[in-house]
Structure 1
Amino acid sequence: MVFVHLIAAERRCNMAQTHQLATRRHIHLEDGGAIAEIFTRGSDPYRKIVNGRQRKPVGRPVMIKAGMRAVEWESIKAEKPMYELCEVATPVHSMFAQPHLLRMKIVGKYERLDFIPDLRLSVDTGFAVQVAKGAFVEAVRNWTPVRQGTLSTLIVEVKDDADPRIEDPDYQNKLRLAEQVYRNVGWFFTTVVRSTHISHPKTDPAIAALFLKRKTTLSPGDLSAVREAFGSQEKLPWKEVVAALGGGPTGVRKASAMHVRRLISVTVTEPLTDRSTVVRVQDGRPLFELPGNYPW
C-alpha cells in the first residue's frame, strides 16, 4: 500500500494551455517522491458527461443545492438517486458534480493515476464523521439538525452494485490513494454503493416526495406563517406545518420546498405522513434568496 503525507503548502497557478486552475500540493510517499495536483474549471464541472454520443439514460436536473445549476448524471440506478438524496438531505448544504481532476504521480506500477470524483459536498462536519463510520443513507436518517457547527468538504464516488470496478484491485488501490490525498488536504472521502449506501425502503418514498416539490416558490409571508405556527415549540407534526402554509397540495409543496432549502427539517426515517415530525433548522445557513427573511 502507498502512504502519503502532506509536506508543503498549496500553490495556485494558471494553466494557460488548458484554461484550468490548478491547485498543486506536494505529497511525500514512503518509497519516493510524488506530486498530487487538483485541477478545476472554476464553477463548471471538470468533465461534461451528457452529450449526443450517449446510448443510455442520462439527465441534467437543476438542483437547488448546486446553486440552481444543472447536475449531470449518467447512472440512472446510482448517481440519479444519490443526487436526489443529497438535494433533500438536511446535513448537505451544497453539491458540485464532477468537481475536479485529481492527478497523482506515484512510484510503482503506474507513473500517474487520474481520478475525477462524482461529487463534492459541503456538509455538517458531524455528518461527515458519521458517513465515514457507515452508510450514507443511514447517516441521513439519523441526522438531527444542530444549532451551531462547522462545515466540511466530503468527496463522494458513486457506484452501482453491478459496476465491475468494485472488484478491481487496481481501481480500489486508486481510491485508497485518493482518500489519503484528500485526508491530507483536510477533506473527507467516501465511496457509496447503491444498495448499501443510497437506498433504504422506508426512506426512499420520503426523499422522492420532497425532491419532486423542491422548486416551489416561497415568500416572506410563508416564512412568517411557519414562524407563527411553531411559536415557542421545537417540533410540529407535518400536518400542522402544511396547514400553516395553506393546506392541501399547495401547503405540501411549500413545506417540501422549505425542507430542501434548510428552513425546516422533516424526518425521513419513514414515508411522509400527517404525523411526521418537523423541526426548525436553526444553524443560520438556509438556502433562501431573500436576505433578512430568515424565520428563526
Structure 2
Amino acid sequence: MAGKLEKVEIALGGRRFMYRAADGGPIRFGVTGRKRNSTHIYNSSKVANHILPAESDAELQVITLLDLSTSVLTYMAQPHTLKLPKTCGKGTWIYTPDFEVIVPRWFIRQLESGMPFALAALKMPQRRASEDDLVRLVLEVKGASRYADLRERDLTQPGAQAKADKREAEKEDYQAKLREAHATYRGMGYHFYLVDELRDLRTLDLRHLPSILMDDDVKVTWRHVNLAWKHLQNRSGLTTYKDIIDALGGGPLGRETANCLHVRGLIWIDLSKNPQPVTTVAMPPLLGSRRDLGHLLASEMEA
C-alpha cells in the first residue's frame, strides 16, 4: 500500500498557500482507472524518476509536445496545488494546474503574440533565446468535450432548469477561480496559459509525434553529436532530414539517432508535419544545461 504523500506548504500571503509534493513529483495522481474519459500514464525523457498522469487525450498531446519542444527544459504534471480565498463570499478555492513548465522567455512571447501552443512548441527558438532568462509557465488544458455539449436539453422537464442553473453557477465559479489563480501566479512572477484543444492543438496534425518519441531511448554518444554538429557547421547550420540521417550512418539507426538528438535538444527537426527527406533540420540555440554540453563538445571538435 502506498504511503501518504508528503507535502510542503508555501505561504504566499493574503491567506494564499501553495502545496508541492516533497519528492518533487505530481501533487496528485488522478489516473485511477475509475474515470469514464480516456486517461494515461506517461514516462517522460525530460522528467526523471516520476511517472506522470495525463487525465485526458488533450493532456497527453500536450505532454508529447513538451517532450519534443526544444524550448522546454523540464516540466511537471499536476505540479502543485493552490489554496485561495474566494473573492466573492466565504470559503476557499482549491486549484491544481495541469502542468508547470520551464521555458525561455522567448516562448512566452510567442504565446502572447497569439501563436497556437502546438506551433510555438514545435518552432525552433530564436538564437537570442539562449540568452533569455528561464521562467515558469503554468498550463491549464481545456479539452473540447468540456464545452462541446451536443445533447439537447428540455428545460420543461422537472428539475431541468435547476440543473441548468447549477451548471451555469459552477461554470462561473470555475472561471472566477481561474482568474484568481492567474492573478496569484502573476504576483509570483509565473506565467499562465490556457491551452484550448481546438485553438492550440488541432492547428496541426500531431499523430506522427509519438513515433518520434519512440526513439528517445536510442544510445547516443558524443561521437553522434559531433557528427551531427560538424555536418550542420559545414552546411551553415541548415540541412535536410535525409542528409542528417546519412551523416549519422544512414538507415533506420541514423533516423532514430537524429530523432533522439532532437528530443535531447541538440538538433532541431521541423516536426510540424511528419518529417520527409526534404524536411528542414537546423542547429538550435542551446538552453540551460545544454549550453555547458555545447561548450564542452565544441572544444573537443576544435581539438
TM-score range, shorter chain: 0.7 to 0.9
Q: Which residue of 1 aligns with 2:143?
A: 160
Distance in structure 2 (CA, Å) of the matches to 1:172 and 1:206: 34
1:149–1:283 Cα contact (<8 Å) kept: no
Give the secondary-structure state (helix, strand or coil) at the position aligned to 2:243.
helix
2:151 alignment partner in structure 1: none
The residue identity in structure 2 corresponding to 1:58 is: T
1:282 to 270, 277, 285: 285
User: Which of these residues, 13, 29, 32, is aligned with residue 48 of structure 1?
Assistant: 29
Normalising by structure 1, we get a TM-score of: 0.82
Question: Do 1:132 and 1:190's aligned partners in 2 also have CA atoms closer than 8 Å?
Answer: no
Structure 2 counterpart of 1:73, from 54, 66, 80: 54
CA distance in 1, matches of 2:85, 2:71: 34
Contact 1:156 1:191 in 2 (8 A): yes
Larger radius of gyration: 2
Per-residue CA deviations over 1:193-227 (Å, capped at 9, x if unaligned) read: 2121123335x245344223222221122112112
1:85 to 65, 71, 77: 65
Gaps of 5+ in 2: 148-166
Structure 1 or 2: more helix by fraction: 2
Gaps of 5+ in 1: 1-16, 27-33
**Residue 137 in structure 1 maps to residue 140 in structure 2:** no
Alpha-carbon spacing, 1:293–1:200, altered in 2? closer, same or farther (3 Å)? farther
Asked if the contact 1:158/1:193 (under 8 Å) is kept, the reply is: yes
Query: Bigger shift: 80-89 or 211-220?
Result: 211-220
Aligned to 2:209: 207
| Correspondences of 1:223-262 after superposition (within 5 Å) | 223-232=225-234, 233-262=236-265
Q: Which residue of 2 aligns with 1:118?
A: 98
Q: Kindly tell me: are residues 129 and 289 of structure 1, through their superposed partners in 2, closer, same or farther at Cα, counting changes over 3 Å? A: closer
* Corresponding residue pairs, total: 271
- Report the Cα offset of residue 228 of structure 1: 2.3
Residues 295/198 of structure 1: CA separation in 2 closer, same or farther (3 Å cut): farther
- C-alpha distance in structure 2 between counterparts of 1:234 and 1:268, whole Å: 17
More strand by share: 1
Q: Any conservation in 2 of the 1:261–1:288 contact (CA below 8 Å)?
A: no
TM-score by length of 2: 0.80
Q: Is the deviation greater in 162-171 or in 127-136?
A: 162-171
Q: How far apart in 1 are the matches of 2:121 and 2:86? A: 36
CA separation of 1:282 and 1:201: change in aligned 2, threshold 3 A: closer
Q: What is the root-mean-square deviation of aligned Cα atoms in Å?
A: 2.7
